[in-house]
A and B are shown apart, each in its own frame.
Chain A
Amino acid sequence: MDIILSEIHSSQKVQVKNITGVDTTRLLEMGITPGITLEIVRRAPLGFPMEIKVRGYLLSLRESEAKCIIVEDI
């Protein structure tokens, strides 16, 4: 089932399915490519940004970026 990354509230591992939006290039360039496993680590005090682990490193995403990442359960 497709889930938008920004809507996941628990810490879990998911698989990237697709990147959408007008500017997908940079997210892809940062290594968030379809098929890769991504771990939601935590959220900041007001919910955003959210911290994810991808390809072994940690990345902070604001809501506008997290909305562009479509994932699915592993």
Chain B
Amino acid sequence: MNNNPLTIALVGNPNTGKSTIFNVLTGLRQKIANYPGITVERKVGTTIIGGVLHKVIDLPGAYSLNYKKLDERITYEALIGSYEHEEVPDLVLVVVDSSNLDRNLYLATQVMDLNIPMILVLNMTDVAEDRGITINPETISETLGIPVLAISAKNKSDVELLKDEIQKFELEAPRPLKWVPDETLFDAMKLVIDDWIIPYTNIPENARYIEALRLISEGEFIGAFYTFEEAEKGKKIIAKARGMIEQQGGNPMAVEVLRRYNFIGECTSGASKQTKQFEKTLTDKIDSVVTHKVAGPFIFVAVLLFMFQAIFSWATPFMDMIDLLFVEGGAWVSNALPKGMLNDLLVDGVIAGLGGVVIFLPQILFLFFFIYILEGTGYMARAAFVMDGFMTKVGLHGRSVVPLMSGFACAIPGIMAARTIENWRDRIITIMVLPFMACSARLPVYALLIAAFIPPTTVLGVLTLQGVTFFGLYFFGIFMAVLAAAVMKKIFPSGKQTPFIMELPSYKMPKWSVVFQNTAERGKVFITEAGKIIVAISIVLWFLASFPKVGNEEFVSEASSEESFESYQLRHSYAGKFGQIIEPSIEPLGFDWKIGIALLTSFAAREVMVGTLNTIYSIEEGDEVNETLKEKLINDINPETGKPVYSVATAISLMIFFALAMQCMSTIAIVRRETNSWKWPIAMFTYMTVLAYICSFIAFQVGSNW
């Protein structure tokens, strides 16, 4: 009986329902965060079994302990207790998909070699039954010498069975090397262990077999996480061990795998029976339509269109509500408290900043709601399959499509959605180019400038020049994203080539509680982790635009009669000074200090630029604001030259700048969260801003000398 608190680790291949078991075991008592310094997520929670509180860790999905990805490495390291950011498990639940027993047992036989108490959980028995597969858990248990439990995590009562099994388990570790390596392999392993691993490394004792096998298969120490000495000696010993196998006609990369699969074959042939044969499963039937060569891409586009239309029409009312709530709330606080700096700080700094965080929630929640449904059903992998050919042509990945498309609404949910891309390099490239997609916050800026400076001339019969410019800006964003992706693909080292192998899981109904729980979790992660950065920057921006304070007397004596107090204040604030200081550097782009101020303030959100220009031009709030601002922009005269401040070239230059520059603190905050380092957001800000500067420079210089 287990009356002491245990650390229980869940291990398994991807798509085995491992996370469902985790969710059912822990319920709402779970926490998601990144492991320090890397982007692999740590999911940990607690469960109560027989009155005892146990810790449950959901380790990243892995196909093998001979790791090819960071996720798999973390799983391996955590299992053997040498990962400093994870606790050493007392008990491992290896979760396997019963409808795909052979491949799933591969990892299980590896975990058996680690000398940790384990229970084999045959999950998804319902799917196996539908396919006519019957499994006898007792036979498997006898062959492997470990407790085996067949369940379907969908059934609550099955999870109780699992809890009972955990409670009564005596925590005996299985006997390692049940699969019995052949003599040559065993000698090779012994050589590596005795002559190198034991004397020269600090790898834990229980990991020696697996590490020796991994070294023999890999032939090198790439990505070794433990400390070792005498690397040269180690290399020679590993080469010698491989030589021993090759001499007997074996392939060091294959001998272990083949031997394990032989063992698995013996184990399952007696325990699992295919009672019915199906020519085509339901999954095959759905796939013949959904991944069809011609129909597939169209179906995917239709799914995307439906999804984004739904996000758009469902999220907008919520966003309006949030906007209203924070504006009204701010106004209420502003009236309730005595006037002064604290009032301003609370209303224009903190409340406005919080509003700027919460406003993203509806889009994030709806997008992830759909993503988790698509993942849960198994369609997401099909979409990647269908789109991969197109996307690899431009240096991206089949799974980049959904995040990039989300970027048209807003880069924040898009960047969060990039987590569905497994390969780190593909994922980081997708994140880095995603802000080029014309998000909805650019719309008001484009709309204002196009209305003011692009004539509504008819071109090509039916189109107006304004419409074409609008389309051109969207297209320009996509073009730059593709171009940047192609360049980054060349720059970023790919390291050792990892094979791209993607499983297409069987279709199933998504588990709604998991969909809702995971969606809520994404929202929480955004609010708590990106939110703090966003609020902090909002307060800084508020400070820059409000200080130093100008006095009333100063305003009356200094300001011109047309200027409002707000405009005068902004002009004399730090932001105003910033605009004037950077004026010489942005002059070649056709911008003056007023735009300089707007460039700084629009860092809070791109659409803020319109509001800032309203303030600078002393426009009182009202229905005609946009119309008035448009007139003011057109009629603004440079006092030195006597010419209009804004020309068509300036407008185009400014639109290009907004299309390319990283003018969004929330994007910076979410990139920081998703890449778990400041390196990537800083790199993003720099390269996008430099690119924006160069393109605007060219556009203005060419445009004004036309």
Are A56 and B257 in contact, with the CB atoms below 8 A?
Answer: no
Complex: how many Å from CA A6 to CA B389? 14
Are A42 and B293 in contact, with the CB atoms below 8 A?
Answer: yes
Return chain A residues, CB-CB under 8 Å to B68: 26
Minimum CB–CB distance from A13 to chain B (whole Å) comes to 13
- In chain A, positions 27-74 with a C-beta closer than 8 Å to chain B are 27-31, 33-34, 41-49, 51, 55-62, 64-65
A12 at interface (Cβ–Cβ under 8 A)?
no
Which stretch from B380-388, B469-477, B595-603 is at the chain A interface? B380-388
Complex: how many Å from CA A65 to CA B284? 23
Are B254 and A25 in contact, with the CB atoms below 8 A?
Answer: yes
A23 at interface (Cβ–Cβ under 8 A)?
yes
Are A43 and B99 in contact, with the CB atoms below 8 A?
Answer: no
User: A26 touches which one: B287, B393, B499 (CB < 8 A)?
Assistant: B499
What 1/0 flags go to B312-337 for Cβ under 8 Å of A? 00000000000000000000000000
A19 at interface (Cβ–Cβ under 8 A)?
yes
User: B502 touches which one: A42, A47, A60 (CB < 8 A)?
Assistant: A60
Complex: how many Å from CA A7 to CA B170? 53
Are B63 and A58 in contact, with the CB atoms below 8 A?
Answer: no
Given the known inter-chain contacts A27-B499, A28-B254, A49-B385, please indicate yes or no for A56 contacting B63, CB distance below 8 A: no
Residue among A22, A23, A47, A64 having the largest count of chain B Cβ atoms under 10 Å: A23
Which stretch from B46-54, B100-108, B178-186, B349-357 is at the chain A interface? B100-108
Are A65 and B501 in contact, with the CB atoms below 8 A?
Answer: yes
Complex: how many Å from CA A71 to CA B251? 18
Are B293 and A44 in contact, with the CB atoms below 8 A?
Answer: yes
* CB contacts between A and B, total, < 8 Å: 126
Total contacting residues, chain A, CB less than 8 A: 33
Residue among A26, A43, A60, A64 having the largest count of chain B Cβ atoms under 10 Å: A60
User: B100 touches which one: A25, A57, A65 (CB < 8 A)?
Assistant: A57
Return chain A residues, CB-CB under 8 Å to B103: 30-31, 55, 57
Minimum CB–CB distance from B266 to chain A (whole Å) comes to 14
**Chain B, Cβ-Cβ closest to A25:** B253
User: A49 touches which one: B217, B254, B389, B496 (CB < 8 A)?
Assistant: B389
Are B102 and A45 in contact, with the CB atoms below 8 A?
Answer: no
Return chain B residues, CB-CB under 8 Å to A57: 99-100, 103, 503-506
Return chain A residues, CB-CB under 8 Å to B503: 57-60
User: A23 touches which one: B392, B497, B506 (CB < 8 A)?
Assistant: B497
Return chain B residues, CB-CB under 8 Å to A23: 253, 496-499
Return chain A residues, CB-CB under 8 Å to B292: 42
Return chain A residues, CB-CB under 8 Å to B287: 41-42, 51, 58
Given the known inter-chain contacts A45-B390, A62-B500, please indicate yes or no for A29 contacting B296, CB distance below 8 A: no
B297 at interface (Cβ–Cβ under 8 A)?
yes
Are B388 and A44 in contact, with the CB atoms below 8 A?
Answer: yes
Are B102 and A51 in contact, with the CB atoms below 8 A?
Answer: no
Minimum CB–CB distance from A56 to chain B (whole Å) comes to 6
Residue among B131, B504, B505 having the largest count of chain A Cβ atoms under 10 Å: B504
What 1/0 flags go to B217-248 for Cβ under 8 Å of A? 11000000000000000000000000000000
Given the known inter-chain contacts A29-B257, A55-B100, A59-B502, please indicate yes or no for A44 contacting B63, CB distance below 8 A: no
Are B385 and A33 in contact, with the CB atoms below 8 A?
Answer: no
Return chain A residues, CB-CB under 8 Å to B501: 26-27, 30, 59-61, 65
Are A56 and B253 in contact, with the CB atoms below 8 A?
Answer: no
Return chain A residues, CB-CB under 8 Å to B385: 44, 49, 51, 60
**Chain A, Cβ-Cβ closest to B389:** A46
**Chain A, Cβ-Cβ closest to B500:** A62
Are B499 and A65 in contact, with the CB atoms below 8 A?
Answer: yes
**Chain B, Cβ-Cβ closest to A55:** B102
Are B106 and A29 in contact, with the CB atoms below 8 A?
Answer: yes
Complex: how many Å from CA A23 to CA B253? 8
Are B388 and A25 in contact, with the CB atoms below 8 A?
Answer: no
**Chain A, Cβ-Cβ closest to B292:** A42
B702 at interface (Cβ–Cβ under 8 A)?
no
Residue among A34, A62, A65 having the largest count of chain B Cβ atoms under 10 Å: A62
B261 at interface (Cβ–Cβ under 8 A)?
yes
Return chain A residues, CB-CB under 8 Å to B218: 25
Return chain A residues, CB-CB under 8 Å to B499: 23, 26-27, 64-65
Are A28 and B502 in contact, with the CB atoms below 8 A?
Answer: no
Return chain A residues, CB-CB under 8 Å to B257: 25, 28-29, 33
Complex: how many Å from CA A64 to CA B392? 12
What 1/0 flags go to B268-296 for Cβ under 8 Å of A? 00000000000000011001100111101
Return chain B residues, CB-CB under 8 Å to A58: 283, 287, 503-506
Minimum CB–CB distance from B286 to chain A (whole Å) comes to 11
Residue among B99, B100, B385 having the largest count of chain A Cβ atoms under 10 Å: B385
Are B291 and A62 in contact, with the CB atoms below 8 A?
Answer: no
Residue among A29, A43, A45, A49 having the largest count of chain B Cβ atoms under 10 Å: A29
Complex: how many Å from CA A59 to CA B257? 18
Are B106 and A31 in contact, with the CB atoms below 8 A?
Answer: yes
Minimum CB–CB distance from B299 to chain A (whole Å) comes to 12
Return chain B residues, CB-CB under 8 Å to A60: 381, 384-385, 388, 501-504
Are B389 and A45 in contact, with the CB atoms below 8 A?
Answer: yes
Are A45 and B296 in contact, with the CB atoms below 8 A?
Answer: yes
Are B389 and A48 in contact, with the CB atoms below 8 A?
Answer: yes
B258 at interface (Cβ–Cβ under 8 A)?
yes
Return chain B residues, CB-CB under 8 Å to A33: 257-258, 261
Return chain B residues, CB-CB under 8 Å to A46: 389-390, 393
**Chain A, Cβ-Cβ closest to B218:** A25
Given the known inter-chain contacts A44-B385, A48-B389, A49-B388, please indicate yes or no for A24 contacting B254, CB distance below 8 A: yes
Complex: how many Å from CA A43 to CA B292? 8
Are B66 and A29 in contact, with the CB atoms below 8 A?
Answer: yes
Complex: how many Å from CA A33 to CA B254? 9
**Chain A, Cβ-Cβ closest to B15:** A57
Minimum CB–CB distance from A65 to chain B (whole Å) comes to 5
Return chain B residues, CB-CB under 8 Å to A27: 499, 501
Return chain B residues, CB-CB under 8 Å to A55: 100, 102-103
Are A28 and B258 in contact, with the CB atoms below 8 A?
Answer: yes
Complex: how many Å from CA A65 to CA B503? 14
Are A31 and B388 in contact, with the CB atoms below 8 A?
Answer: no
Are A45 and B100 in contact, with the CB atoms below 8 A?
Answer: no
Return chain B residues, CB-CB under 8 Å to A19: 254
**25 interchain pairs, CB-CB under 8 A:** A22-B497, A23-B253, A25-B253, A27-B501, A29-B66, A30-B501, A31-B106, A33-B261, A41-B284, A42-B293, A44-B296, A44-B385, A45-B296, A45-B386, A45-B389, A46-B390, A47-B389, A48-B388, A49-B385, A57-B506, A58-B504, A58-B505, A59-B502, A60-B385, A61-B500
Give me 5 other A-B pairs in contact (C-beta within 8 A), A25-B253, A30-B501 excluded. Answer: A44-B291, A45-B297, A48-B388, A58-B283, A58-B503
Give 6 nearest A-B pairs by CB, closest first: A46-B389, A58-B504, A28-B257, A31-B103, A60-B502, A57-B100
